Amino acid sequence: MALKKTAKPVEKNDASDAKMALSMRNYKLMLIGFAVIVLGFVMMTGGGSSTATEFNYDMFSFRRITLSTILVLGGFAFVGYGIMSKGKQGKSKGE
Chain segment 52-88, per-residue pLDDT in tens = 777 778 888 899 999 999 999 999 999 999 999 986 6
Q: Residue 46: what pLDDT?
A: 78
**Percentage with pLDDT > 70 across the chain:** 73
DSSP 19-40: --SS-HHHHHHHHHHHHHHHHH
pLDDT, tens digit, 9 for 90 and up, residues 8-43: 666 665 555 567 888 999 999 999 999 999 999 999
Instruction: Give the pLDDT confidence score for residue 20 in this predicted structure.
Output: 81
What pLDDT does residue 52 have?
Answer: 74
Using alpha carbons only, give the angle 70, 76, 22 rounded to the nearest 5 degrees.
150
